[in-house]
Chain A
Amino acid sequence: AQSVTQPDIHITVSEGASLELRCNYSYGATPYLFWYVQSPGQGLQLLLKYFSGDTLVQGIKGFEAEFKRSQSSFNLRKPSVHWSDAAEYFCAVAASGGSYIPTFGRGTSLIVHP
């Protein structure tokens, strides 16, 4: 079975600073990987996904993530954070063969200081 670890419960950055949120997964083959964002009081929205191909994927709202097989990681990045990026971010992994049900990490709460 697959699993996901988001080692940072909270991340605090200043507006305009760069951001990297960490995600490590466990899965025997090449996984399907996702980042979702949850704004306060809202449901989750897909930011980006990796299925195959180019390991650097672009998403909405200026986010990108890089799949690194050797490190079993799929870290989320943004070069310049805006105050509206304050939210909860979830990494998820799904098996590329077999069960399609994603497994979610516990989430990282992003706090943006002005």
Chain B
Amino acid sequence: GQNIDQPTEMTATEGAIVQINCTYQTSGFNGLFWYQQHAGEAPTFLSYNVLDGLEEKGRFSSFLSRSKGYSYLLLKELQMKDSASYLCAVRDRGSSNTGKLIFGQGTTLQVKP
């Protein structure tokens, strides 16, 4: 089966650093994605990991450990506009290699002044 877990809610202070964790179990792992989603809007691509290690992209970094089924998204120098839901998604290889994404429930991050 497939299961993706991430915390439901987090709160952090403007200018701080926050880490959003994600654990997963999937039958055919083919990469892990992080998306940002503001209320009522579409998911926006943030980062992608297929190999173990850290990928850095400006204020955002994402880490993957395939052996532990674990990833995190690190947001630095938090800004008020970072208040949003952060979605962890695993690309499932599946039987036909279609690359469908399996999403977690999302972590709602509230940034406070």
The answer to whether A and B come from one shared complex is no
